Amino acid sequence: MALWGGRFSAETSGEVARYSESISFDRRLYRWDIEGSRAHVKMLAAAGIIPQETAEAIRAELLRIRDKIDAGDFKFDISLEDIHMHIESALIGVLGAEGARVHSGRSRNDQIALDLRLYLRDEIDLLIHGIRRFQKSLVGMAAEHPEVIMPGFTHLQHAQVVLFAHHLLAYVEMLDRDASRLADCRRRLNVMPLGSGALAGSTLPLDREMVRAELGFDAVTRNSMDSVADRDFAIEFVSALAVFAMHTSRLSEDLILWCSQEFDFIELDDAFCTGSSLMPQKKNPDVCELTRGKTARVFGSLTALLTLCKGLPLTYNRDLQEDKIAVFDACDTAEQILAVYPPMIDTMKLKEENMRRAASDPALMATDIAEQLVKMGVPFRTAHHRVGSFVKWCRERGRRLDETTLAEMRETIPEATEEFLGLFDPESSVAKRDLVGGTGFAQVAKQISFWQKALAGEA
């Protein structure tokens, strides 16, 4: 169907139609395309560009088309290429030539720029809500186990004792920044591009400000070429999702390690694990492993968008049709993560005794000894060297740090007192880290309370 005029003397070949169609994926934009078209038509009538009765008929028919698509009672055909052509063709099929007035003063170039911004605006709101729900699950698990002690790690080596709740709250902080990045992205993309035309604006007396207000944008775009040519708002959006996915992948790795026989700190509910096709005893944390894999997909979407845009001259180029595939896939992946992680965290079981046992290695308190020396006036590098020598002395003799006498400790730490022999208690080590941001019991309790209040009301 030659919907866009009489320039061509031959129909598009079937192979080209299949190669160039986007309706197979951009059909999901139908609600936002219709929303934008209804606002545009309302403005056209107000500006005297089309008759009021025509605008009313188009606006009403657009709602009927939306309802048909909602109900699955709308036929999609690759010969119509994209969602814009499908909706306009449906209008013309019912209203005849009057339906064709819908496209006055606009191009598919500024139309898709509008649709994508409308879509992402709503997606961001949903994603932020999902992130808040995710945070709430982590905070809830922390609140259930506020005094469980575990080893903290650097380089995947036992480092110092921390609270399990403190570990979870680290991810709550990361997720909060993820939500903040999405909110920042929403603010920047909430600018209305319609009225930019194909690239140069329009000779028609369009009231862009009216459309802006109708659709709830903060402003209109200032440059018509930039409006239709750039996709930095989509790149920024997928970039924010890539950081979010990276954070969930890191949490997944922690959970995978904690589930292993070597750690044995937690057990995930059976609903979030699978078995082996061969080994009957296996219980695999597949959700966590899939998240690591799906994170790669989000990274791929970001790379695809950056590569897609890097060599495009101004203004619109057909390459940009491919942007939606990357955006939609990143959206879908993030939504899947947010659907499965809160209930997985909610049902996670802790093996507190195993965690406490792992945190009882006195070597985890070596830094406490060094800091005790600092309190006594010993320069930290000197203290660090002496405690390191003490650790070496113990290991050469197959002794735990807390199995030495004061006299033996003084062989490498001459300043040691009786008090030093009591520095190997995990609870005491945690309690002494009572400064803002630390893992001390009181500080973590304050953080749990802070987040409970901040996330109150999140479903």
Instruction: Give the active site residues.
Output: 155, 276
Nearest to 336 by CA among 94, 130, 108, 87: 130
Return d(Cα 160, Cα 151) in angstroms, integer.
6
Q: How do 266-267 and 219-220 pair as beta strands?
A: unpaired
Helix, strand, or coil here: 284? strand
Separation of alpha carbons 359 and 361, rounded Å: 6
Please name every residue paired with 163 in a beta bridge, in sequence order, or none if there are none: 149
| Tokens of residue 63, six digits | 């709602």
Whole-number Å distance between alpha carbons of 337 and 171: 15
Q: How far apart are CA 320 and CA 310, in angstroms?
A: 11
With a CB cutoff of 8 Å and minimum separation 6, the contacts of 99 are 57, 58, 61, 88, 91, 92, 93
- Asked if residue 248 has a cis previous peptide bond (ω within 30° of 0), the answer is no
If 0-12 CB within 10 Å is exposed, 13-18 middle and 19+ buried, where does residue 220 land? middle
Q: Are 432 and 368 in contact (CB under 8 A)?
A: yes
Rounded-to-integer distance, Cα 204 and Cα 83, Å = 25
Pairing type for strands 219-220 and 157-163 reads: unpaired
Contact criterion met (CB below 8 Å) for 270 and 283: yes
User: Could you tell me what percentage of the chain is helix, strand and coil, using 3-state DSSP and rounding each to the nearest 5?
Assistant: 65, 5, 30
Instruction: Name the token pair of 378.
Output: 């010993």
**Residues sharing a CB contact under 8 Å with residue 79, sequence separation 6 or more, in sequence order:** 1, 12, 17
Instruction: Give every CB contact of residue 145 below 8 A, 6+ residues apart in sequence.
Output: 164, 165, 350, 352
431 burial via Cβ count (<10 Å: 0-12, 13-18, 19+):
middle
C-alpha span between 123 and 116 (Å, rounded): 10
Residues 6+ positions from 165 with CB-CB distance below 8 Å: 141, 142, 143, 145, 146, 147, 148, 444, 448
